[in-house]
Structure 1
């Protein structure tokens, strides 16, 4: 490739702020894989947030770039997968795309095709645009994609300078699986690797039952993560996520605290399902996003302790990201920790998000 902006490029990032700042440009915060697409004639490269190539996992995006993008360009954006069962995004389906077998990737590209939602233009033809104001880059992005007849799987993210519209997006678009709002200075340059944008994400809390733990990689006397559960309407305990950000000293303290709660798998609410599936975890298909060979077996605990966690949003019946430990809730009855406590996002279709202005 011989582009004015060459791979690899560290994407420009955003820092978390508690509220939507006034006087900026606003976009939905997409919940997928951050990616930069480079096209130089017949050659297409796609790199991830950590600058590694991910083009082989998304052949339909590569084909779409060759069919629809300008001959020489560099776009920043997000790869997402629409759900086949509801109107929003499906992050679990996106995770499945990172697979070593080419045949599996090709099958998933047909059955759960990905989209690329572009939100910045770093280069076009022979011009490096990174020093130009964001408003100029945004206008160039819209014009470049419109002029090339860009269509599925390439879209331009909605954008507004109306803070009231951004606030409405923040509330509505979560129902389509989005993650909040990003604010960008209209006159700001593109700063690779720098946190020059602002992000406003949903922050909620839930009281969850501690149903087990995984051992830390440092040794058998430290907790790696706590497995969280919520009770369903029929009284069963569902696996909803994990919490795992602790100091090493706290991991060892937790290990000691939880030993009196250890129980046999056969006596655990998840025991029958785990044994029936010949699996190691309460979710048969559970794997590590970052390490496919990681041992995800768990130590079962009697579901008697409750803790409060912070989370941003749900995806289906699960916490979308790793939750954050707040504190223990000795005042809560574990059986009272149900899905009913969770705030329901407004239902909103992905197609409506992409069409928003």
Structure 2
């Protein structure tokens, strides 16, 4: 799919005071919810979606990703909603999210959001109907011809709330919750995870908006579990015949559920030197023929995908760090912690994994 957009570095239109696209302000990881002097910090839920700079200039709406790529073509329903509900000249820092579940038991659906990036216009149109995205706004960068980025966060927040306070409940445009109480932020960290959120963000209330700088702080959920290696993915440009020693790109993992070994995600971040060591370990375990056909595979892999996935005997156990288990899969890529030769593969079960208690997403958006 191709999308028409403003060339990088050019303003979105004649009325907007900011050069767009711009890189959003970022956050550095901290181990726990930080505490400052009274009124020094503001806390917000950490939304697990696609970071997005939203700009409207008259009838034109642009959605810019964190890497400053245009997302308009993938989220036509969001473009339409912004044109309907936002002021004519505005720039917002926001998150695109997709929700799932029945009323009263809704949560963020990362998998449904991730498949929205699709090259087929027909498929995009269908997904916009089936899994419509929404916008959660957490900073106001410009309104009309006023650049608000030099203002302190507390003033930008107040302006954002005032700007969007009159939206109808059914509008897919929201203002994120915020508090200056660290105890409430800790409660959000624990409870909002059940609605699919990722943690808590802390912002200095006197700080200006700083594009590309890690001036915020974030606390994310982190857990560990033992999983079974079920196969590996080939590195870019490799082929099955080239030999595992030069082709290992990622490790795919499984967990047992009622005796069935289910694919749950994988580890993709490996130093180049380690990839060679992995190849030497995995090569003797590679399955072929009928055993390979019967082996569990990541659900987005088929038999025609052998170039991307090579099944192995489920003998190796690895401890991994992850943030959340969504359904029966790790929500994001897992991180290697250590090998566990002391664990039997069959002991790596889904019920060992801690799950967050369910929490209704609508209670996060509209308390």
Q: TM-score, normalised by structure 2?
A: 0.88
Alpha-carbon contact 1:265-1:300 (below 8 Å) kept = no
Partner of 2:327: 316
Task: State which of 331, 340, 346 in structure 1 corresponds to 2:351.
Answer: 340
Q: How many residues are paired up? A: 340
1:9 aligns to 2:22 (yes or no): yes
Q: Which residue of 2 aligns with 1:272?
A: 294
Report the CA distance between 1:148 and its aligned residue: 6.3
Alignment of 1:164-313 (within 5 A): 164-217=183-236, 219=238, 220=242, 221-222=245-246, 223-233=248-258, 235-264=259-288, 266-268=290-292, 271-272=293-294, 281-283=297-299, 285-286=300-301, 297-313=308-324
Task: Return the offset for 1:237.
Answer: 0.2
2:360 aligns to what? 349
- CA distance in 2 between counterparts of 1:34 and 1:349 reads 22
- Does the Cα contact within 8 Å between 2:99 and 2:109 map onto a contact in 1? yes
Does the 8 Å CA contact 1:79/1:114 hold for their aligned counterparts? yes
Counterpart of 1:290 in structure 2 is none
Matched, 1:27 2:35: no
- Secondary structure of the structure 2 residue equivalent to 1:82: strand
Cα 1:265/1:238, change in 2 over 3 Å: farther
**In terms of mean alpha carbon deviation, does 149-158 or 88-97 score higher?**
149-158
Give how far 1:84 is off: 4.2
Q: 1:59 aligns with which of 73, 76, 87?
A: 76
Q: Which deviations, in whole Å up to 9, do the C-alpha atoms of 1:59-78 show, x marking residues without a partner?
A: 11111111111111101110
Measured after TM superposition, the shift of residue 286 of structure 1 is 5.0
Structure 1 residue 103: deviation in Å?
Answer: 2.2
Unmatched runs of 5 consecutive residues or more in structure 2: 1-12
Partner Cα separation in structure 2 for residue 161 and residue 295 of structure 1:
52
SS in 2 for 1:62: helix
* Number of the residue aligned with 1:94: 113
Tell me the alpha carbon deviations over residues 291-341 of structure 1, each in whole angstroms, 9 at most, x when there is no partner.
xxx986311111111010011111111111111111110110110000111
Give distance in 2, aligned partners of 1:286 and 1:83. Answer: 24
Q: In structure 1, the residue corresponding to 2:118 is in which secondary structure?
A: coil
Q: Note the C-alpha offset of 1:273.
A: 7.1
TM-score by length of 1: 0.91
SS at match of 1:120: strand
Corresponding residue number in structure 2 for 1:291: none
- C-alpha displacement at 1:265, in angstroms? 5.2
Measure, in 2, the Cα distance between the counterparts of 1:49 and 1:265.
44
RMSD (Å) for aligned C-alpha atoms: 1.9
Indicate the residue corresponding to 2:174 in structure 1: 155
Structure 1 CA distance for aligned equivalents of residues 362 and 182 of structure 2: 22
1:207-239 superposed Cα distances (whole Å, 9 cap, x missing partner) = 000111112226542321111000002x00000
CA contact 1:307–1:325 (8 Å) conserved in 2: yes
Q: Secondary structure at the match of 1:228?
A: strand
Among candidates 329, 336, 350, match of residue 325 of structure 1? 336
Q: Secondary structure at the match of 1:352?
A: helix
Q: Is the 8 A contact 1:4 1:128 kept in 2?
A: yes
Deviation readout 1:141-194 (Å, 9 max, x if unpaired): 011112566851100001001101100110111111111111101111110011
Corresponding residue SS for 1:6? coil
